[in-house]
Amino acid sequence: MLSIVKAPRWARPAGSDFSQEGPPSDEHIGDFANFLGQVASRYQGKVGAIEIWNEENIRNEWGGEPFDAARYVRILCAGFAQIKASNRGMIVISGALTPTGAPPPLAVNDQVYLRNMYAAGVKDCADAIGAHPSGYANAPDFYYTGGDPDPTRGYDDHPSFFFRNTMEDYHRIMVANGDGAKKLWPTEFGWGVFRYSGDQRFVYMQTNSLQKQADWTVTAYQMGKSWGWAGVMFLWNLDYALTCDCENANFGILTHQGDTPAFSALANMAK
């Protein structure tokens, strides 16, 4: 799967925050769609799917522009048409939303945004719906129903912190919009362990052990298989712990010390 998440500066609206990635302007949606069609043609037989954009409900992935699900769906539909014209067999995934309860201008609640995408016509412009079901420091099979289970730890007082909530709640939205037969693809999910201390947003990972990472990852795949409506699940990530001293390293399952328990558990689990 290729995730195409950038528009060049010349294709973006004047006055955009060019320090962040952002979408093409309305005048250049056609150019962006043509590019997607060329990618689909060039990599026919080598790439099976294209995800159009990434986390369009959060500020730093939408260039600081006003959030607009209808505008995103216009981009998606134009790209979908060009991809299918170039390569009928290419699977098109809608840009996965980031689970969040943060308010504008930082973000839009992902479930609200998904409903707005359906109101704008996403059903007819994607073969599958993308999702980023983050688990934070919570087991994948726990379903949040309200309150604050443990006020001492954080990251457990909103549905966006729970893998199962994101997956099951999105599926319910899809069913409510007559789209329940479509697969929900987790194009990024996983549990991190605290390796990179340069970003204090990730201190919650100190409660995630390597064994929890292994057990929870396997459980998530087992849940996806049992649901039946989950599509291809992309674990975040394989080897950033080998290549960068950054937040991505927290999620890696290969390290300079060797395979992690998560790597071994995934290698050995029933496929």
In a domain, 248, yes or no: no
Average pLDDT for 205-222: 97
Tell me how far apart the alpha carbons of residues 132 and 54 are, in angstroms, rounded to a whole number: 9
In a domain, 258, yes or no: no
In a domain, 112, yes or no: yes
In a domain, 250, yes or no: no
CATH classification of the domain holding 16: 3.20.20.80
The per-residue pLDDT for range 35-81, each reduced to its tens digit, is 999 999 999 999 999 999 999 999 999 999 999 999 999 999 999 99
Number of domains in the chain: 1
> Does position 149 have pLDDT exceeding 90, yes or no?
no
The residue count of the chain comes to: 271
Q: How many Cβ atoms sit within 10 Å of the Cβ of residue 123? A: 16
Q: Which amino acid appears at position 86 of this protein?
A: S
Average pLDDT for 188-208: 90
In a domain, 246, yes or no: no
In a domain, 268, yes or no: no
> Does position 199 have pLDDT exceeding 90, yes or no?
no
> Does position 150 have pLDDT exceeding 90, yes or no?
no
In a domain, 243, yes or no: no
Region of residue 159 (left: phi > 0; alpha: psi -120 to 50; beta: else): alpha
The per-residue pLDDT for range 83-141, each reduced to its tens digit, is 999 999 999 999 999 999 999 999 999 999 999 999 999 999 999 999 999 999 999 99
Average pLDDT for 170-189: 98
Confidence of residue 152 (pLDDT cuts 50, 70, 90): confident
Domain that holds residue 209: 2-237
Residue 111 has a pLDDT of: 98
> Does position 153 have pLDDT exceeding 90, yes or no?
no
Strand 258-259, strand 254-255: pairing: antiparallel
What percent of the chain has pLDDT above 90? 93
In a domain, 245, yes or no: no
pTM: 0.96
Name the token pair of 148. 């604050």
Tell me how far apart the alpha carbons of residues 171 and 182 are, in angstroms, rounded to a whole number: 9
The per-residue pLDDT for range 6-15, each reduced to its tens digit, is 999 999 999 8
Name the token pair of 243. 């290549």
